[in-house]
Amino acid sequence: MCKRMGLIVMMALCLGQSCVPATPQSNRLAVTDKLREACGDFVGSDLDIETLIGEAESNLGRGVRKADYVSGMLRVCNNIEVLDGALACQRCAVAVANQVYE
């Protein structure tokens, strides 16, 4: 009984002081300045970038490999008739994939 109580007290102290070293939060799903720069010519707002991030995260969660995701996005981008728009789309798609699939 005394031994179990000691373990409970130790666990409470450990959890309260976070005995496990803190790991830095990942910005993997955040709209970053890097994404704003890469996507600025393609989308109009952070909300649009968040939508792209969500789509990439959904694909990752379903087991879609990064190469397959990028390939699919580049095919979509190639359907944009204006060259500058297609290139901006490609740059954004690759940047989102690189961040989400890190």
**pLDDT (tens digit, 0 to 9) for every residue of the chain, 102 residues total?**
444 333 343 443 443 444 444 444 468 999 999 999 999 999 989 999 999 999 999 999 999 999 999 999 999 999 998 989 999 999 999 999 999 998
Which DSSP category does 79 fall into?
A: T
For residue 79, how many other CB atoms are within 10 A of its CB?
Answer: 8
Which pLDDT value is given to residue 44? 85
Residue 59 to residue 64: CA distance in whole angstroms: 5
Give pTM, 2 decimals: 0.73
Amino acid (1-letter code) at residue 61: G
The helix or strand, by DSSP H or E, that contains position 71, with its residue range, turns out to be: helix 66-78
CA dihedral of residues 66, 102, 37, 70 (deg, nearest 10): 0
